[in-house]
Amino acid sequence: MIASLDALTQEKINLWLSGNYDADTKAKIQQLLDEGKETELTDSFYKDLEFGTGGMRGEMGVGSNRMNKYTVGSATQGFANYLKANFTGESISVAIAHDSRNNASYFAKVAADIFSANGIKVYLFKELRPTPELSFAVRHLGCNAGLVITASHNPREYNGYKAYWNDGSQVVAPHDKNIVAEVNKIQSVDEINFTGNPDLITAIGEEIDAEYLKTIQVNSINPAVITRQKDLKIVYSSIHGTGITLVPKALKLLGFEDVNVVEAQAEPNGDFPTVIYPNPEETEAMTLAMNLAKEIDADLVIATDPDADRVGAAVKNPAGEWVLLNGNQMASLIIYYLLDAWKKAGKLTGKEFIAKTIVTTNIIDKMCETQGVKCYNTLTGFKFIAAVIRELEGKEKFIGGGEESYGYLIGDAVRDKDAVASCAMIAELTAYAKDNGKSLFDFLTSMYMENNFYYEGLISLTKKGKAGAEEIQKMMADLRSNVPATVAGSEPVTVIDYTNLTSTDLKSGVITSIPTGLGMEASNVIQLVLADGTKVSARPSGTEPKIKFYVSVNEPLEKAEDFDAVLSKLKQKVSAIQEDLGLK
């Protein structure tokens, strides 16, 4: 034993060494003890890996604070207990998928065994599949719940567990907190039933693929344009993830014939050997794709993260340089195209809507207002967009939606962000632009000229430890109690506080309540709206020692040649806001 380990950590280590854990797990713990790996042991055992309102995520390894058979087992047993309590007397079923991460297929099988051991029927994807297809499968198969083993675009050391409800969305209130409570009740490994029932586990795969791909084909609005532009030169990378299983098929099904896969990143691999982080938001992860685009003079670059729920895109600017679009730009372009296409197709009846999060660009609100289409703003997280779709089902028609963090959804067959469907739609809108003699960058410029140039900056401040947590609390309290007289030369006119769901007009003092429902509930977020249309949103992270400030600014763009000059002006304004608010 290591004398310097704290008592609680030592107690948990002893419990794992003496309890009903497998011999390999015990041997690994003993090896860490023999080698004096105090820091690793402390990190692995000082607490239990938290099962939050959407699931859990952590580094893989032995210990109570790591992703392993036993933490996955505890989460699944608690989830199973809740399902049995919630659907008493019913035949319960769950769909399970996994991505390309190390141990993902193993964890999926562990979960399948535990659900089946509890009398729950399991539909288990026999190979890796995108997260949005799991959402679709839950709905298509009429399941009570779903599960994806994934850590999205986190580093290779991580894996995770995402829980879904019967509408295909990630769990929301009251089920989220109720599942957490059930998971927390599991106090011993002996309470977990690992002995699966093979008769209750059904392998699924290609048959679900076919039905899911049909929904993507239905989303297409301008098939004639694709026919004319079938030779659109597309570069696609799955960044060693699940997108390779369906994105090329979806593009081919729509009629695109010149799809160039980045072969060095095509093989699913949980080590992600060609990138530092498997995240299409990062230029580094997109480098191979953009290099291929330069080589073949492509029209579009798209890449998906490991579980294919987020997509990044790159376009060629007028100088011939390949540039990455950010999440706000891509969300805006998709909505710009969808609204225009639906209008031209005569599909706007007054009952359609768009949904986005409160920290996603307001150019979407403006475009919706112009077209007479409702735009619902939700809390951050796609499960809240899914909640709007669920609540309005049968009353209003969802066109599409998105969030600034590279997640978009077209149509309502899926209830989570969907990079497969998004890749197809991005390719279609690029084909539409080309059919009209424009590049995708030109299309972006046209959107800004019609609606103002909106630019969003994210300021993320890390504040570690107890002192950091207190500093974050103070920053939020100061914003609430001491609204600055001006910010970068503009006067705040409205304060929106989502903690108590109120909007305060600073000139009149009138306070308006924000109704709950439709993706809205109390949350620790505050927004300042300035007289010039600038919006500053402050939001502490729920999972990391960070506070994030989302800054949205806008200016008119009179002509395409002014793009760079206006962009520079907007960036300077974001910097001025950061300076004025002391965000360091």
Cα–Cα distance, 412 to 417 (Å, whole number)? 11
Cα–Cα distance, 99 to 151 (Å, whole number)? 9
Q: What is the side-by-side strand order in the sheet with 352-357?
A: 374-378, 352-357, 397-403, 407-410
What does the block give as tokens for 254? 């729509």
Cα–Cα distance, 169 to 274 (Å, whole number)? 32
User: How far does the chain reach from its first CA to its final CA, in angstroms?
Assistant: 43
What does the block give as tokens for 115? 């659900």
Cα–Cα distance, 418 to 133 (Å, whole number)? 8
350-to-65, 156, 347, 402 alpha-carbon distances in Å: 50, 46, 9, 20
Q: If residue 408 lies in a helix (H) or strand (E), which one and from where to where?
A: strand 407-410
Q: What is the side-by-side strand order in the sheet with 546-555?
A: 453-462, 546-555, 535-540, 526-530, 492-497, 502-505, 511-513
Residues 6+ apart with CB under 8 A from 358: 377, 378, 379, 380, 498, 525, 527, 537
DSSP 214: H
What does the block give as tokens for 385? 């967009």
Active site residue ranges:
152
Cα–Cα distance, 68 to 81 (Å, whole number)? 20
* Contact between residue 156 and residue 272 where contact means Cβ atoms under 8 Å apart: yes
Task: Name 145's bridge partners.
Answer: 94, 165
CA atoms within 13 A on the CB side of 475: 24
Residues 6+ apart with CB under 8 A from 387: 169, 172, 378, 518, 519
> Which DSSP string do the residues of 436-486 spell out, in sequence order?
TT--HHHHHHHHHHHH-EEEEEEEEEE--HHHHHHHHHHHHHHHHH---S-
What does the block give as tokens for 212? 């899911």
Cα–Cα distance, 378 to 77 (Å, whole number)? 31
Residues 6+ apart with CB under 8 A from 30: 17
Cα–Cα distance, 14 to 257 (Å, whole number)? 60
* Contact between residue 537 and residue 511 where contact means Cβ atoms under 8 Å apart: no
What does the block give as tokens for 444? 């972006």
Give residue 70's identity as a one-letter amino acid code: Y
Cα–Cα distance, 216 to 220 (Å, whole number)? 7
Residues 6+ apart with CB under 8 A from 476: 524, 526, 538, 540, 547
